Amino acid sequence: MSEAFSDANTVQLEIFPSRLLKPETAQSLLNEIAEIEGIIRLFIHGPRLPQTVPYGPATGVPVQHPGNKVIEVAGQAIELAVYVGGIRMEVLDADVKEQVRDACDRVLPVSFEFREGNFIPRMQTVSDYAKRGPDADPIMIGMTDPKGKLSKHPICILKPEQDE
């Protein structure tokens, strides 16, 4: 297991806006957060956006939903599969926590809850094991969507480590 993830000094945060975020607002917030040094991992969650009509006479027809957009975060295009209802992250220390809070205050047009707690599993779960096997990358622990298929909704790594 990586040293950063076995360290109990990391802080886990949840940003929970009082409303679902529009893609433009989510893009602005994620870009602000992406510029902060000291964020180990982050994921967004919320209700799934339908991609196709599931039943009825229009079964299989693509849904024209205003939330189905491609946003650009840290120079990388990301197709939103959910309405952003919350953001969970793991950061190095309390200083980074305050920088994230300041970014939320600047960008979010609605009130929000800013919580500290345990939101991302620190040990491999059954879903992680089923998706990635026993030798999974420690950064991916807890980042598995049990209902999702990785080929459809990949995990985006915004700041890949430079191999030198």
Query: How many CA atoms within 13 Å lie on the side-chain side of 97?
Result: 14
Among candidate residues 102, 144, 138, the one with its CA nearest the CA of residue 123 = 138
- Say what the pTM is: 0.77
Alpha carbons 88 and 115: distance in angstroms, whole number: 9
Q: How much is the pLDDT for 127?
A: 74
Question: At a CB cut-off of 8 Å and minimum separation 6, what does 85 contact?
Answer: 16, 17, 20, 21, 45, 46, 47
Question: At a CB cut-off of 8 Å and minimum separation 6, what does 131 contact?
Answer: 144, 150
Please say if the pLDDT value at position 39 is more than 50: yes
Q: How much is the pLDDT for 61?
A: 93
Q: How much is the pLDDT for 163?
A: 44
Q: How much is the pLDDT for 100?
A: 95
Please say if the pLDDT value at position 160 is more than 70: no
Domain ranges of the chain: 3-140
Range of weakest confidence among 55-59, 94-98, 130-134: 130-134
Q: How much is the pLDDT for 6?
A: 43
Architecture in CATH of 3-140: 2-Layer Sandwich (3.30)
Alpha carbons 160 and 38: distance in angstroms, whole number: 13
Please say if the pLDDT value at position 56 is more than 60: yes
- Give me the chain's average pLDDT, please: 82
Mean pLDDT, to the nearest integer, of 78-101?
90
Q: How much is the pLDDT for 2?
A: 37
